[in-house]
Structure formats: structure tokens, C-alpha cells
Amino acid sequence: MKLKTLLATGLLAAVMASPAVAQQISIKAGVLNDRSGLYADLSGEGSVIAARMAVEDFKAADKGIKVEIVSADHQNKPDVGSTIARQWYDQDGVDLILDVPTSSVALAVSQITKEKNKILINSGAGSSDLTGKACTPNTIHWTYDTYALAQGTGGAMVKAGGDTWFFMTADYAFGQALERDATAVITKAGGKVVGSVKTPFPGTDFSSFLLQAQASKAKVIGLANAGGDTVNSIKQAGEFGITQGGQKLAGLLTFISDVHALGLQAAQGLVLTEAFYWDKDDQTRAWSQRFAKANGGKMPTMVQAGVYAGMLHYLKAVEAAKTKDTAAVVAKMKATPTDDALFGKGSIEANGRTIHDMYLYEVKKPSESKGPWDYYKLVSTIPGKDAFQPVAESGCNLPK
């Protein structure tokens, strides 16, 4: 009975679809991210939902493109991530991998993707090396990177008068990259970095470092850390009356999921850069409401939004190229301007960097918020061309 209906619908679908296209292209997309650890909330299952929504919105089935989505947990370990990526490419016939937060895993997967000549659309990782000195012709980097975050938070803060900085930097390569990029931006904009402290990663108690930051009298305390470190340092900054003392906190890599974890009481006044905020305009609101319904009421993060946009753009390129051949699709992706409901209009550079606007937000006071997830007010918009590193400076030497 069940089999019969299944067969019938299948036949029906085939009959309906066949006149529209000459041939069927079937694609297998793998969403590889953290599903159990620190970054599970900002990527995780939400990214899979976002990828599925992209397939729905593109109406892939009607256009003769069959898409299957698989997912796995890389546990933030490069060796686990690279095993899965190899297996997906070699054995399971996966055509592209999406998301991949955690820079170390992303860099490993990017190398494998090049070796196997497939496509990686990265949304979750922040390392600007992905489109810099470690760039490959097969990697597209969506959403954000350390350079853009530094441009947004560093540059805009200096312009707003926050011209002396103290950094609390998580003691690992990613934290140091954030600090390095932000320092360059701040000095260029006429600001000054008066001090910094390297905090063991991951850390729990930041009060000692906050005291050092307080003593530095810097106007802005830059948090070059992520995840639990950021949450802990902001929570304790509130406790030590840092913001009441007139110093501003600037999160260099803070996601809406972190703000949600902190609550507005603790996070208010924090300044941060994001590529996407659900409440930005009607289009993002409509999409995000749909997303939240599928994701247990949780609003999307910019990483999840980036997976959606990247998947959508990929599908458009496949449709236009009429093939899933890697070189052809990547060429199409880079040649076609990006345009979607979430990131607006943009483009993909020769090195694989996606260019779109970034936004500097300030976290609302509890009294300003109208309800759950109403967290940000816009401070300024950073045009894409200013936010991201120009190809010439990126250190990527891919031919145009």
C-alpha cells in the first residue's frame, strides 16, 4: 500500500518534472559542523535547517535538481572533520560541504576539498587565511572573517570616539589573529592600543584580566575571544562595574546566541559586528520566523543565515551552468552577483571571499527590548567593499 503510493507519487513527480528539464542533476550536500560542543548553538542543526530551506526556496525539485542533505558532527577536531570530509567525497558522493565552523577544521577541510576537487562553502569559520594565504580555487567563504570583524568593530568604534583600546585576547591563533587585525584597523583610524593580555583558553575566570583592563583606563575593552570565554568575560565585566565606569566592551566575535545566553541585563551596551540580524528588515524577519518555527523557537545566527545564502547561490550557479562540474559551478558562482533575502546584493571575489555589507550593533538595554530575541540596535552599516579585505592584500595568489 505504502509502496504503491510512493511509487505513484514518484512517477507523478517524474512525469511532471520531466518536460521542464532535459536532464536531472542530483546533488548531495554535506553540512559539516559542531553538533555537540561549544558552537553547536550557532551552527549545529540550525545550519542543516537553513540548508534545507534554501533547497525549498529555490524550488530545486521543479528545476530538475535533486538535492540530498547529509550532516555530521566534527566535534571541533581537525582529524575527525577531515576523516568525515574524505569519506563524504570518496565514498558517499558528496558534492559540496557547507558551514564548517572552527578555523582549524575549516582549513583542513578546505585542503581536502581542493585535493578532491569539490566545493566548500564555509560560513562558520572566521580565519581570513581561508581566502588569504591558504586560499584554494574550491573554497567560497561566506558570512564573516577576522578581518571583517576587526574592520567593523575596530574601525567604527574609533570613529565613534573609542580611540584607546585594551585587548583581552584568548591565547590561541584565532584570538591573536583577531587582535592583530583589529590593532591594524585601530591604528590606521587614528586610535591607540594601550595594552593587551593573553588569557588561557578556554578560561572561566576573567576577573583578574578585567582588573588589568580597568587599570589601563582604555576607553574600549576589546574581547578577542569567542564562545564561553566571551560570555564569561562579559558576565564578569558587568559584575566589576566596567561599563558603569565608562569603559565600553567590544566583542570582536560575538554571536546572537552568546547574547541570548548572557541575557540583556549582562550584555547591555556591548558593541559587536554581525553580517546578519534577524530583525533587520521585512525579508529577514519573514525568513527568520520560518526558521525559528523549525528550530525550536531559536532565531538564526549569521552563520546559519550564511549557510542558507551559500546553498542558494550554489543552486543558482548549478542551474545556470546546467552541470554540477566543480570548475564550471565555481566559475558561475564567482561570475554571478550574489543576491538573496538575507544578505542583500553582493559578489564573490576571485579568492573566494563573499562581499556583502556588515553591521555594527549595540546590545539593547532590558528596558528597550520588546521581547525575546529583540536584542540589537543598529549603530552603523559597513559597506561590503570597506568591510572585507581587498583581494590584492589578502595574500592569495589565485589567478583571476
Q: Which of residues 291-320 bind another protein (CB under 8 A)?
A: 298
217 SS3 class: coil
Main-chain dihedrals φ then ψ at residue 84, nearest 5 degrees: -65, -45
Please report, as residue ranges, which positions from 127 to 156 form the binding site for another protein (by CB under 8 A).
127, 134
Rounded-to-integer distance, Cα 51 and Cα 7, Å: 27
| Closest distance of CB 281 from another protein, Å | 26
Bond from prior residue into 202 cis (ω within 30 degrees of 0): yes
Q: Give the three-class secondary structure for 199.
A: strand
Q: What is the DSSP letter of 242?
A: T
- Is position 228 an interface residue for another protein (rule: CB under 8 A)? yes
Residue identified by cell 569539490 is 118
Q: CB 285 → another protein: shortest distance, Å?
A: 22
- Residues 345 and 359: their CA atoms lie apart, in Å, by 14
Q: Closer to another protein at the Cβ: 62 or 205?
A: 205
Q: Which stretch binds another protein (CB under 8 A): 50-58, 64-72, 271-279, 335-343?
A: 64-72
Rounded to whole angstroms, the maximal C-alpha distance in the chain is 75
Shortest distance, position 3 Cβ to another protein, whole Å: 26
Nearer to another protein, 213 or 330 (CB): 213
Q: How far apart are CA 251 and CA 226, in angstroms?
A: 9
C-alpha cell at 255: 554571536
CA 127 from centre of chain: 11
All cell numbers assigned to 296: 525550536
- Smallest separation, CB 167 to another protein (Å): 11
Cβ–Cβ < 8 Å for 124, 58? no
Nearer to another protein, 56 or 205 (CB): 205
Residue 197 interacting with another protein (CB under 8 A): yes
φ and ψ of 2, to 5 deg = -65, -45
CB of 179 to another protein, least distance (A): 13
Choosing from 61, 189, 261, 294, the residue that interacts with another protein (CB under 8 A) is 261
Take residue 267 and report the three cell numbers written for it. Answer: 550584555
Q: Which of 17, 21, 38, 184 binds another protein (CB under 8 A)?
A: 38
- Report the candidate in 143, 164, 156 with the shortest Cα–Cα distance to residue 355: 143
Residue among 64 and 228 whose Cβ is closer to another protein = 228
Q: Which of 168, 208, 148 is nearest to 383 (CA)?
A: 148
In the list 64, 78, 344, 395, the residue contacting another protein (rule: CB under 8 A) is: 78
Strands 96-99 and 119-122, bridge-based pairing: parallel
The window from 11-19, 54-62, 107-115, 149-157 that contacts another protein (CB under 8 A) reads: 107-115
Least separation in angstroms between CB 385 and another protein: 28
Please give the residues from 310 up to 369 whose contact with another protein meets the rule CB under 8 A: none
Segment lying near another protein (by CB under 8 A), choices 52-60, 151-159, 195-203, 371-379: 195-203
Positions 230 through 259 that interact with another protein (CB under 8 A): 231-232, 235-236, 239-241, 245, 255, 257-258
